[in-house]
Amino acid sequence: MSLTAVLLFVVLPYIAIGQLVPAILFRKVVVAVVQAPELQQPLAKERSDFAAWLTWCGVAVLIPLHLIPLLFPGASLSVLSWRPLLVTVELVGWIGGALFLVGMVHSGWRRIRDPRFGRLRSGLELATLFSILASTFSGVVVAVADRWGSAWYTTVLVPYLRSLILLRPEVSGLSGMGYWPQAHVATSFLALALLPFSTYPPQWIRSWFEFWAGAEQPRSAR
């Protein structure tokens, strides 16, 4: 096991998970920034923009596709052994990744060019944005270039992730993968490490509640 593999696939994942406690303590600072009066109008526009719904549609697809094989690897492999369903899962995953990437690029570009987002152009915010974009882009590349990514995710990455959970990290399978799968894993853990310290989580949560509040409004009006 090389030093680079240890740093990227063992040390970085545990750092990403271990910093959740200080991130919770840091949350008041993040919420204070999101609630700043000068940011209310641009943040409200960001939450109501079409790109926000693209991002949420992508999240709604990507989370189950990554979580279900992790929780039920045997059942997932059995299901994916049926070729038509495997093709369907591949297509759905590609679409979900593309939607999330387009939504994040759109909202990120607005934060960079709109002067009203000046407080959200700190080094931490930009590093979070670019790590999310790098993770999503590399994931889309893997979905397009590497055939049957759902199958190798279940057979290679799921055992690796489970070994991290059991505190017995095993990276041999991951080390044998190509550049893009490794880049996807490393940038995903980097994004996970930075995300709790950024303003993205409270924005996403608030946009989610506003979406459902808007969906319920016509019912109550009737």
Domain residue ranges in the chain: 41-210
Residue of 125, 119, 130, 121 lying closest to 197 (CA atoms) = 125
Q: What is the pLDDT of residues 150-205, one digit of tens each?
A: 888 999 899 999 999 999 998 888 877 888 999 999 999 999 999 888 888 888 88
Q: What is the model's pLDDT at position 204? A: 82
**Per-residue confidence band for 136, with pLDDT thresholds at 50, 70 and 90:** very high
Question: Residues of the chain with pLDDT > 90: what percent?
Answer: 36
Contact call for residues 60 and 105 (beta carbons, < 8 A): no
Q: Who's near 86: CB < 8 A, 6+ residues apart?
A: 80, 148, 150, 151
What distance in Å separates the CA atoms of residue 179 and residue 219, rounded to the nearest whole number? 50
pLDDT at 218 over 50: no
Q: How many CB atoms lie within 10 A of CB 52?
A: 21
Instruction: Identify the three-state secondary structure at position 199.
Output: coil
Specify which of 25-29, 32-36, 122-126, 127-131 reaches the highest per-range mean pLDDT: 127-131
Confidence band for 1, pLDDT divided at 50, 70 and 90: low
Q: What digits encode the pLDDT tens for the residues 112-133? A: 998 888 888 889 899 999 999 9
Does 211 or 87 have the greater pLDDT score? Answer: 87
pTM of the model: 0.85
- 214 pLDDT band, cuts 50/70/90, is low
Query: Given a cut of 60, is residue 219 above it in pLDDT?
Result: no
Whether residue 29 has pLDDT greater than 50 = yes
Looking at per-residue confidence, does 4 or 137 come out higher? 137
Mean of per-residue pLDDT scores for the chain:
86
pLDDT by residue (tens digit) across 85-108?
989 999 999 999 999 999 999 999
User: Which pLDDT does position 172 carry in this prediction?
Assistant: 84
41-210 CATH:
1.20.950.20
Overall average pLDDT of the 62-76 stretch: 93
Q: How confident is the model at residue 212 (pLDDT cuts 50, 70, 90)?
A: low
Residue of 161 and 35 predicted with greater confidence: 161
Task: Kindly tell me if the per-residue pLDDT of 11 is higher than 60.
Answer: yes
Q: How far is CA 26 from CA 4, 14, 196, 216, in A?
A: 30, 19, 8, 33
Classify residue 182 as exposed, middle or buried by CB count within 10 Å of its CB (0-12, 13-18, 19+).
buried
